[in-house]
Amino acid sequence: MTDLTISISLLAVIFAMVAFFYASVGLGGGSSYTALLAIFGAGIATIPMVSLTLNVLVTTVGSIVFLTQRHARLRLIGPFLISSVPMAYVGGMLHLPKMLFYLVLLVSLAFAAMRIYFPQKTKPLELDDRGKFLLALGCGAVLGLIAGIAGIGGGVYLVPLIIVLGLGNAKEAAACGAFFIWVNSMAGLAARLQYNSIDLVPYMPLIIGAVAGGMAGSMMGAKRFNPRTMQRILGTVLVVAIFFLFRKITITMM
């Protein structure tokens, strides 16, 4: 049995909706899965295992869909992956104070949301190719570490970062985000399977719901949604993630 304080069937429906919106912009939904599981009483060891598993499954579908639609570019995602994969594995073996992590995550999500909703208030960074490559390496390392520690893929930061830096358009960013999350979630999950493995069978309804929602969202994002719509959806899912994380922090501090 699970240790949740909510019906797992109801949570599976919520996860399906979350996966749909995240997958439509190339994300796995790990930030919201993590927050929801924490709010509804899942154990500390359970949260990253379930979130990383869902990230892998949802972005597997997304990666295939976006690749078949030829939106992905290896040259764009490559520098991020070089540094993120080993750091995601390291993160899967580490344990940081929860409160500190959630506070940092909350600030980061808020920053990303502002980039989406107020693009006219910010200026794209003016970097040459070498500068963009080095920045991608640094960002990849940080995002990979976060992915392994907390069970999120890091794509929620990568997608807006690609757009802000002018490295690709919305669909290319979504495609890279899906693949980035998949690779780093696999690395973090591999580490946790070695050191913090749990039985995922009781959580199968969540897995089924997230995969179904992710498949539908990926199809809509790759084929039907225009870039402006995808930007709005990304902003919405960021606000949702901020809400859940803020609630988690409030509950923890009480």
Please identify which residue in the block is written with the tokens 């994380």: 245
Is residue 200 in a domain? yes
Cα–Cα distance between 252 and 41 in angstroms, integer?
11
The mean of the pLDDT values for the chain is: 77
User: Which DSSP string do the residues of 82-94 spell out, in sequence order?
Assistant: HHHHHHHHHHTT-
pLDDT given at position 16: 92
Q: Which residues form the domain of 45?
A: 8-253
Residue 228 has pLDDT above 70, yes or no: no
Is residue 3 in a domain? no
Number of separate domains in the chain = 1
Residue 194 has pLDDT above 60, yes or no: yes
Is pLDDT larger for residue 88 or for residue 225? Answer: 88
Is residue 125 in a domain? yes
Minimum mean pLDDT range among 3-12, 73-82, 104-113, 242-251: 104-113
Residue 198 has pLDDT above 80, yes or no: no
Phi/psi for 40 (5° steps) reads: -95, 20
C-beta of residue 144 within 8 angstroms of C-beta of residue 84: yes
Residue 70 has pLDDT above 70, yes or no: no
Is residue 137 in a domain? yes
Cα–Cα distance between 254 and 223 in angstroms, integer?
45
**pTM of the predicted model over 0.75:** no
Identify the H or E element spanning 21: helix 8-23
As a whole number, mean pLDDT of residues 71-96 equals: 80
